[in-house]
Amino acid sequence: MFGLSELAIILIVVIVIVLARKGPELARNAGKSARILKAEARAMKEAEKQQQTDTPPRIIQGETIQAPTDHPHPDVHRDTGRP
């Protein structure tokens, strides 16, 4: 029967034969996909830039509340000032 090394060599030969037939087609399809992906990413960046320049910044109305400073945090001991 075949050993592990013989099976590995047979598997490599089969993969090489399959890639010889389908390799150029796979490479072509991968290149097309990469170009499409780059074009879509570029279009998204341009659309985002356009949206940012068209829309004025939002101003949120409200009031700022300051935390009280006369009450220490409840986990701090009054004697040492440490938790």
pLDDT in tens, 12-37: 999 999 888 888 898 999 999 999 99
Question: Hey, what are 83's tokens?
Answer: 């938790």
In this prediction the pTM is: 0.44
Name which residue leads in pLDDT, 12 or 80: 12
Question: Hey, what are 35's tokens?
Answer: 């170009």
> Element (H or E) spanning 66, and its range?
none
27 with 19: CB under 8 angstroms?
no
Question: Hey, what are 4's tokens?
Answer: 């592990």
- pLDDT of 72 reads 59
